[in-house]
Amino acid sequence: MDNRLYHLGFSQIRGIGPARLKMLVTYFGDLKKAWEAEPAEWRKALGGYAKVSEEFSRTREKLNIKEYDEQLLSKGIEYTTIEDVHYPQLLKQIHDPPFILFYKGLLKKHTLNIAIVGSRVCSNYGKEVTKYLSSKLAEKGINVVSGMARGIDSHAHLGALAVGGYTTAVLGSGIDVIYPPENMGMFNKIIQNGLVISEFSPGMPPEAANFPARNRVISGLSQGVIVIEAAIRSGSLITVDFALEQGRDVFAVPGNITSKNSKGTNNLIKQGATIITDVDSVLEEYEDRWNMDGESPQYSRKIALSSKEELILELIDDNPMEIELLCVKADLKPDELNSVLTLLEVKGLINQVCGKKIVRSSF
């Protein structure tokens, strides 16, 4: 088996996260040896965590990883591992990136990703500001990232969807466990032209302990985080803490000084967060990566392409094409084709969907 499948196997062991998987790889040398090791050796590798070792033993005995991989694909659930070229590059830079991400929708690279978070119980002002900012950002091809929670998160996704934009929802549950349940319709709309991801295995319920981990992914995917309406003790401020730790920009929308849901955001401004008065308050922070005409720099200049890259682009269009078919049409060996596809994806000209299909990038 390749490392991709071993990552999938380790994701099924409760108690194994990025830090412990790193410990195992350091101890055993690679994922294969770690997976095949005896539980007693696991206890040594993990410093005596007997429960995790026992869980590993039970899981390995009953899990057929290849069959599980096929089950996920049959349900339309895809995944990317930290070793894959498609794994979000910004997320790789954080202290403890997830070693696997399950997803539905279109996994695309964007020049700019901005998170919008805030109170679950938001005011009409919060809703209006959120939809205004998210729609304006999405109109410019910016990926709007949020957590699909009630309140500000939901309106961030809805604002992007309203203008046909791309948005990423990060879940604190399994990719097949929609929470809150009333957001099922939103979920279905997002995966048509956006992305829903989770580091938690399918079937995982929305446990309270999952959400801080979810919040670090929201900020980890983004260059900047916008906070709209947050109380002094708010989950959104946990996202801010992660953003600051990860070196991300923090923006805050000023709010009513008599509202408890504005105390957190107003305090952020007092502490140095960039105040937002309009969408340009965000965009001007990224002028080196984005111009005010709403065009990504990668499209405002001619991109140099090799003859093979030009050939591949001529062969694909907006309809996903199987990599095997593309290999035949281009008359290239698989390894040679993969090298060309990697370069085209880095240049933002193509995207891989459904695991083994290629489509032209829409951005």
Q: Which long-range contacts (CB under 8 A, 24 or more apart) does 305-310 make?
A: 305/347, 306/340, 306/343, 308/332, 308/336, 308/340, 309/340, 309/343, 309/344
- pLDDT reported for residue 295: 40
Query: Are β-strands 321-322 and 249-252 bridged in parallel, bridged antiparallel, or unpaired?
Result: unpaired
Domain with CATH 3.40.50.450 in the chain: 105-286
- Architecture label for domain 3-74: Orthogonal Bundle (1.10)
How far apart (Å, rounded) are the C-alpha atoms in residues 360 and 347? 12
User: Of the candidates 267, 196, 197, 258, which has an alpha carbon nearest to the alpha carbon of residue 236?
Assistant: 267
The residues, ordered by sequence, that sit 6+ positions from 46 with a Cβ below 8 Å of its Cβ are 20, 23, 24, 52, 53
| 253-257-260 Cα angle (round to 5) | 90
- pLDDT reported for residue 297: 37
> Bridge partners of 224?
114, 249
- pLDDT reported for residue 299: 33
- pLDDT reported for residue 288: 65
DSSP string, 111-172: S-EEEEEE-SS--HHHHHHHHHHHHHHHHTTPEEEE---TTHHHHHHHHHHHTT--EEEE-S
How far apart (Å, rounded) are the C-alpha atoms in residues 67 and 141? 38
CA distances from 212 to 147, 172, 176, 207, 265 (A): 11, 8, 19, 10, 19
Tens of pLDDT, residue by residue, the chain (363 residues): 789 999 999 999 988 999 999 999 999 999 999 999 988 888 888 887 778 888 888 998 999 999 999 999 999 999 999 999 889 999 999 988 999 999 999 998 888 999 999 988 888 889 999 999 999 999 999 999 999 999 999 999 999 999 999 999 999 999 999 999 999 999 999 999 899 999 999 999 999 999 999 999 999 999 999 999 888 877 788 999 999 999 999 999 998 888 887 888 888 998 999 999 999 999 988 876 554 344 443 333 345 678 888 888 888 865 678 888 888 888 888 878 887 887 776 555 776 655 567 877 643
How many residues in total does the chain contain?
363
Q: Is 200:173 a contact under the CB 8 Å cutoff?
A: yes
Domain with CATH 1.10.10.10 in the chain: 307-360
User: Of the candidates 105, 91, 72, 104, which has an alpha carbon nearest to the alpha carbon of residue 4?
Assistant: 72
Detail the DSSP E strand segments found in the chain: 78-81, 100-105, 113-118, 143-146, 167-170, 195-198, 224-228, 249-252, 274-275, 321-322, 350-353, 357-360
User: Of the candidates 270, 266, 248, which has an alpha carbon nearest to the alpha carbon of residue 258?
Assistant: 266
Is 307-360 CATH 1.10.10.10? Answer: yes
- pLDDT reported for residue 180: 92
Domain with CATH 1.10.150 in the chain: 3-74
CATH C-level class of 105-286: alpha beta
Q: Which residues of 10-27 are buried (b: 16+ CB within 10 A; e: fewer)?
A: bbbbeebbbebbebbbeb
